[in-house]
């Protein structure tokens, strides 16, 4: 069957990239379930790009869902709220999937918790108007995003209000919702688009109003026809247009999405606003609708639990701060041949060393791979085949960057634009020498002296 690709100005795809096995069938048909409230959540005070928040609660203080837990006066930051009804414990330390240690506040669950039905309805249910939104001033929408602690739910976790804040020097003409979810295995965004399209559409319209954007687009890969149809039905009578892009990894990278959809190239070192675009994830749009229309902060998100090493793959609505162990146990636990647990997907995710690591606002999934999945030939010498160059969507030379990082040659790393790497993993995926290219580049970016 021929796949239809409809784009306003782009080609429906981008240069380079790869086509790893999708394996989304494991969880694609699993409807969103509500994770039973854990006995305790541990809420990190850094879940976003920017400054760490400071705790605003005391030990043994009783908290309600949505109550302010931590905040920061820094411009690039996002407040954090209690995700369950309970009692705050003494501030401790949490380890994020990338290995970073950050302060955290544990909250022990109280007896009075909302039912699964009530919680799902509170987050996604009810009416989501697509008309009359002019009653909300742009400044009001931006403030609601800030007060609600909204960040990008696609993984980058950049504070949403900063993106939406009006910049007279760089006017925005297009709001682009990213529904590509190109990472193999993961289906959290897909299930939201299929099951809860209404808040996504409303959030898109509110984001456009905040930015004074005249055009609203939702980009979805053509391997998700049900999501495309559902969103188009929900968008009837509005100016929201659903754009179908060719399936290729990393189509969900915002620079690749902009190029494929609009034919615009974000300059090296630049941002989407440099080409008149604001990109937000579909989950972020739904959270924006809830924050503006209902005054509710971001306390829960949908997480995909998947992989051949999990007993019952699924998509769960979970409170921020729940542990990966809580999610895995609810999905039946690990299979005997489970070998690796990844925060995120296999291309860009981080291998977990501790299942008690907490879920954050940027957690989109947990993938459990088996021994067979992780089998890989041993590392050999680079054969100068150029496959990594052909695959890199950013037009970089990954081998040069990886070797410069391994040798701590920072001048060479800068010469080859290491900061432009989006760490998508295409290079490592195609390398016949099994070089850990993206891991080396990621390490180099972390170790390179700051100017």
Give the model confidence (pLDDT) of 13-23 as tens digits.
Answer: 999 999 999 99
Here the tokens at position 50 are 């920017």
Residue 253 shares a structural domain with residue 393: no
Q: Nearest Cα to 427, choosing from 410, 444, 408, 440? A: 440
Query: How confident is the model over 75-87, as pLDDT tens digits?
Result: 999 999 999 999 9
**Residue 170 counted as domain residue:** yes
Q: Is 319 exposed, middle or buried (0-12, 13-18, 19+ CB in 10 A)?
A: buried
Query: How confident is the model over 279-288, as pLDDT tens digits?
Result: 999 999 999 9
Residue 277 shares a structural domain with residue 410: no
What is the distance between the alpha carbons of residues 374 and 353, in angstroms, rounded to a whole number?
16
What is the distance between the alpha carbons of residues 192 and 187, in angstroms, rounded to a whole number?
9
| pLDDT for res 98 | 86
Position with higher pLDDT, 270 vs 67? 67
Percent of the chain, pLDDT > 90?
91
**Residue 84 counted as domain residue:** no
Q: Which residues pair with 174 in a beta bridge?
A: 215, 277
- Does pLDDT of 5 surpass 60? no
Residue 391 shares a structural domain with residue 290: no
What's the mean pLDDT in 303-324?
A: 98
pLDDT band at 1 (very low <50, low <70, confident <90, very high): very low
pLDDT band at 167 (very low <50, low <70, confident <90, very high): confident
- Does pLDDT of 7 surpass 90? no
- Does pLDDT of 241 surpass 90? yes
Here the tokens at position 394 are 């950013």
What's the mean pLDDT in 357-381?
A: 94
**Residue 87 counted as domain residue:** no
- Does pLDDT of 330 surpass 90? yes
What's the mean pLDDT in 179-206?
A: 98
Residue 276 shares a structural domain with residue 422: no
User: Strands 365-370 and 300-306, how do they pair?
Assistant: parallel
What is the distance between the alpha carbons of residues 68 and 361, in angstroms, rounded to a whole number?
15
Residue 138 shares a structural domain with residue 281: yes
**Residue 222 counted as domain residue:** yes
Strand order in the sheet with 240-245: 240-245, 215-221, 174-178, 277-281
pLDDT band at 144 (very low <50, low <70, confident <90, very high): very high
Q: Final residue of a domain: which of 294, 329, 363?
A: 294
Q: Final residue of a domain: which of 248, 263, 294?
A: 294
Residue length of the chain: 451
Q: Nearest Cα to 55, choosing from 82, 37, 75? A: 82
| pLDDT for res 155 | 77
**Residue 421 counted as domain residue:** yes
Least confident range of 63-67, 151-155, 192-196, 366-370: 151-155
The DSSP code for 273 is: G
| pLDDT for res 10 | 67
| pLDDT for res 2 | 34
Q: Nearest Cα to 298, choosing from 319, 271, 328, 268? A: 319
CATH number for the domain spanning 161: value is 3.40.50.11540
Residue 393 shares a structural domain with residue 269: no
pLDDT band at 3 (very low <50, low <70, confident <90, very high): very low
Here the tokens at position 442 are 């990621």
**Residue 270 counted as domain residue:** yes
| pLDDT for res 20 | 96
- Does pLDDT of 4 surpass 50? no
Residue 143 shares a structural domain with residue 253: yes
Chain centroid to CA 434: how far? 27
Q: Nearest Cα to 87, choosing from 70, 68, 66, 64? A: 64
Residue 290 shares a structural domain with residue 418: no
The mean of the pLDDT values for the chain is 94
**Residue 165 counted as domain residue:** yes
| pLDDT for res 376 | 84
Give the HSE-up count for residue 257: Cα atoms under 13 Å, Cβ half-sphere: 27
- Does pLDDT of 426 surpass 60? yes
Q: Final residue of a domain: which of 266, 294, 322?
A: 294
What is the distance between the alpha carbons of residues 19 and 426, in angstroms, rounded to a whole number?
9
Host domain of residue 412? 387-447
The single residue listed with the structure tokens 């390398």 is 431
- Does pLDDT of 451 surpass 80? no
What is the distance between the alpha carbons of residues 237 and 225, in angstroms, rounded to a whole number?
20
Handedness of CA 196, 199, 204, 207 (dihedral sign): negative
Would you say 280 and 175 are in contact if contact means Cβ atoms under 8 Å apart? Answer: yes
Percent of the chain, pLDDT > 70?
98
What is the distance between the alpha carbons of residues 208 and 220, in angstroms, rounded to a whole number?
18
Residue 148 shares a structural domain with residue 263: yes
Rounded to a whole number of angstroms, the distance between the first and last alpha carbons of the chain is: 52
Question: How many independent structural domains does the chain possess?
Answer: 2
- Does pLDDT of 9 surpass 80? no
**Residue 247 counted as domain residue:** yes
Residue 145 shares a structural domain with residue 279: yes
| pLDDT for res 8 | 59
| pLDDT for res 438 | 94
Residue 140 shares a structural domain with residue 254: yes
Residue 160 shares a structural domain with residue 268: yes
- Does pLDDT of 406 surpass 60? yes
């Amino acid at each position: 069957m021929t796949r239809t690709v409809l784009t306003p100005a782009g080609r429906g795809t981008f240069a380079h990239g790869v086509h790893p096995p999708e394996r989304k069938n494991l969880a694609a048909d699993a409807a969103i379930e509500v994770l039973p409230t854990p006995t305790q959540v541990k809420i990190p005070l850094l879940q976003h790009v920017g400054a760490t928040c400071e705790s605003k609660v005391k030990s043994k203080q009783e908290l309600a869902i949505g109550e302010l837990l931590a905040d920061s006066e820094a411009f690039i930051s996002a407040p954090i709220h209690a995700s369950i009804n309970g009692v705050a414990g003494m501030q401790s330390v949490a380890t994020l999937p990338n290995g970073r240690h950050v302060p955290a506040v544990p909250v022990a669950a109280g007896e009075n918790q909302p039912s699964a039905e009530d919680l799902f309805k509170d987050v996604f249910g009810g009416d989501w108007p697509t008309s009359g939104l002019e009653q909300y001033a742009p400044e009001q929408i931006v403030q609601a995003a800030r007060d609600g602690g909204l960040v990008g739910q696609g993984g980058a976790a950049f504070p949403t209000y900063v993106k939406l804040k009006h910049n007279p020097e760089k006017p925005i003409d297009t709001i682009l919702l990213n529904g590509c979810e190109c990472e193999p295995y993961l289906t959290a965004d897909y299930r939201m688009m299929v099951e809860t399209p209404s808040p996504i559409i409303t959030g898109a319209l509110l984001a456009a109003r905040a930015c004074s954007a005249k055009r609203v687009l939702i980009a979805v890969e053509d391997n998700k026809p049900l999501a495309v149809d559902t969103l188009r039905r929900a968008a009837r009578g509005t100016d929201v247009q659903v754009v179908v892009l060719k399936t290729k990894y990393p189509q969900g990278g915002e620079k690749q999405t902009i190029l494929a959809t609009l034919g615009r190239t974000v300059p090296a070192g630049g941002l989407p606003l440099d080409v008149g675009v604001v990109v937000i994830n579909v989950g972020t749009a739904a959270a924006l609708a809830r924050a503006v229309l209902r005054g509710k902060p971001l306390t829960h998100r949908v997480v995909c639990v998947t992989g051949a090493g999990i007993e019952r793959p699924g998509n769960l609505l979970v409170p921020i701060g729940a542990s990966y162990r809580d999610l895995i146990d609810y999905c039946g636990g690990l299979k005997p041949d489970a070998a690796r647990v990844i925060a995120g997907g296999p291309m860009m995710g981080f291998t977990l060393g501790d299942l008690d690591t907490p879920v954050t606002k940027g957690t989109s999934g947990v993938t459990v791979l088996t021994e067979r999945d992780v089998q890989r030939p041993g590392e050999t010498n680079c054969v100068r085949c150029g496959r990594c160059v052909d695959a890199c969507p950013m037009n970089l030379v990954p081998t040069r960057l990886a070797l410069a990082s391994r040798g701590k040659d920072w001048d060479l790393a800068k010469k080859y634009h290491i900061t432009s790497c989006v760490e998508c993993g295409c290079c490592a995926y195609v390398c016949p020498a099994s070089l850990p290219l993206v891991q080396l580049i990621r390490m180099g970016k972390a170790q390179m002296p700051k100017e």
